[in-house]
Structures are given as structure tokens and as C-alpha cells.
Structure 1
Amino acid sequence: MARDILDIDAVLQPGTEEEQARQEQRVRASFFDTARRALRYVPFMEDVIAAYYCAIDPKTPSASRGVLLAALAYFVLPFDIIPDFLFGIGFTDDIAVMWAAFRAVRGNIKPEHYVKARETLGEM
């Protein structure tokens, strides 16, 4: 699986404030386009979208925001370990990274983030 060739711990490093700001800008610019493409391939898109809302929530602790922004920045990259355009397997590495991020910060993804995620999924 992608985890064998991908250092997930390295991907999920929160980074400096400057790196987090760049990641947030990248995520905000392309998250929803990537999410629409991933809907068919990622079985837990509600969690991914809730993670997005958690990551941009100023009330989320900065360490958790950093982990989520790192994971989401990886998610929106079109060319990563397994390019997203490879239908069926392209999101495998993204799934592994996002799942690891959820496990690391799950206590910070609040019910209100899930409410927004469900609303967004309804609009997609």
C-alpha cells in the first residue's frame, strides 16, 4: 500500500507558521475541486470535509490545525506519490494520510464541523 512508500509522519509535520499559512492558502484555493473529484473514491469524505472546516477554524488548537493543514495540503496536490488522476487508485495515498491525520486530531473535529461537512456534501 501507499503507506509503505510514503512517510506519513513526515507529511503530517505541522511546520512553521509561514508553512502553515502557505498550506492554508493552497488548501483554501483547491480543496473543494479536489473534494468533488474524490467523492467517488474516498469512502469517508464527510470526515475529510469536516477536517477542512476544523483546519480553518481559528478555535482549533494550532498543533491540530498544523497537522490537518499538512494532510489537506497533501490531499489537494494533483501529483503526489500516486497521482490523483489514476482513477481507482489515485487517492490511495491521500486516504492513508487523511486517516492518520484524523487519528491524530480526532478530538478537535467538533460536531459543528460535521454539520458544515454534511451541508457541503448536500450541495455537492
Structure 2
Amino acid sequence: MDDVKYGEILLPGDEDTQARREKTVRKKFWPTFRRAVRQIPFSRDVVAAFYCALDPQTPLKVRGTLLAALAYFVLPIDMIPDMLVGIGFSDDIAVLSAAFAMVSRHMKPDHYSAADSALADEPQGMKTV
């Protein structure tokens, strides 16, 4: 995994790849987010990205990029193990930051409203759509 570049991680993939990633993200996003929330300085953006990635109005390439970043975030095996306190989510943060830079104009006020509701209602609001 050391040779993998963040740009390669964020490739949108084909429809089958996106479908697999979406299934994984829907299942594992909230449990992973709950573990990482204190280590992620931009939690609201991560949750908004989750809603943007699941929004059928989001362009396919953008959805694919966000799903790739979110799938990397929720997968237990990555460059720096998430269980390492303090640094475990640093690679995830880098991947998510790169994804946001690529697709930020597609993250709409509705995605942020959904994120705000989910975060305000925590843990009840932290459900998949």
C-alpha cells in the first residue's frame, strides 16, 4: 500500500466498483465516523460528503470519487492503522481532504443541512439513507 498514491485511491471506478463501495460505505460509515469524530477536524464536511455521495443528483464521477474516499475511510486496512491513537486517521484525513478539494463545488447546502441534522441528533440522526 506504500506505493499507492492518493490520486489512485480516489479514482471513481466503474459502476460495479461504485456499487460495491456504496454498499460498504452505507454499512460502515457511521460506526467508523463515531470512532474517528474526535480526530477529524472537519467532521461536518465528512458527513456532508457522505450525503453527497449517496445523492442520486450528484454526478457519477463525483459520487465515485467521494465513495472511493469514504470507502478508504471505513475500511479497516489502510496505510496507517486506524487503531493508532492520534495518528490512525491521519491518512484517511489526507484522502478525504484531497477528495473534497476535487469535488467541493458539488457539495450542496442540502448535503450540509443533512449533515447538521445528523450531527445535532447524534446518535439518532446517524443513520444511513
Letter in 2 for 1:98: L
CA separation in 1, counterparts of 2:14 and 2:66?
14
Partner of 2:20: 22
Q: Which residue of 2 aligns with 1:96?
A: 94
Identity of aligned residues (%): 55
**Partner of 2:111 in structure 1?**
113
Q: TM-score, normalised by structure 1?
A: 0.94
- SS of 2:26's partner is helix
The aligned amino acid for 1:96 is A
Runs of 4+ with >4 A deviation:
none
Shift of the 32–82 alpha-carbon distance from structure 1 to 2, 3 Å rule, reads same
Structure 2: distance between partners of 1:38 and 1:15: 26
Tell me how far apart the structure 1 counterparts of residues 51 and 114 of structure 2 sit (CA, whole Å): 7
By how many angstroms is 1:55 displaced? Answer: 0.1
CA distance in 1, matches of 2:7, 2:110: 28
Give distance in 2, aligned partners of 1:119 and 1:33. 17
TM-score (norm 2): 0.91
Answer yes or no: is the 8 Å Cα contact 1:6–1:81 preserved in 2.
no
Partner of 2:79: 81
CA offset at residue 121 of structure 1?
A: 1.0
Map 1:17-56 → 2, pairs under 5 A: 17-56=15-54
CA apart distance, 1:123: 2.2
Q: Distance in 1 between matches of 2:46 and 2:3?
A: 22
Gaps of 5+ in 1: none
Q: Report how far residue 86 of structure 1 moved.
A: 0.8
The number of equivalent residue pairs is: 121
Superposition CA RMSD, Å: 1.2
Hey, what does 1:61 align to over in structure 2? Answer: 59
Following superposition, the deviation at residue 5 of structure 1 comes to 6.2
Find the counterpart in structure 2 of residue 72 from structure 1.
70
1:6 to partner: Cα distance:
4.9
Measured in 1, the distance between the counterparts of 2:121 and 2:10 equals 29
**Structure 1 position 78, deviation (Å):** 1.3
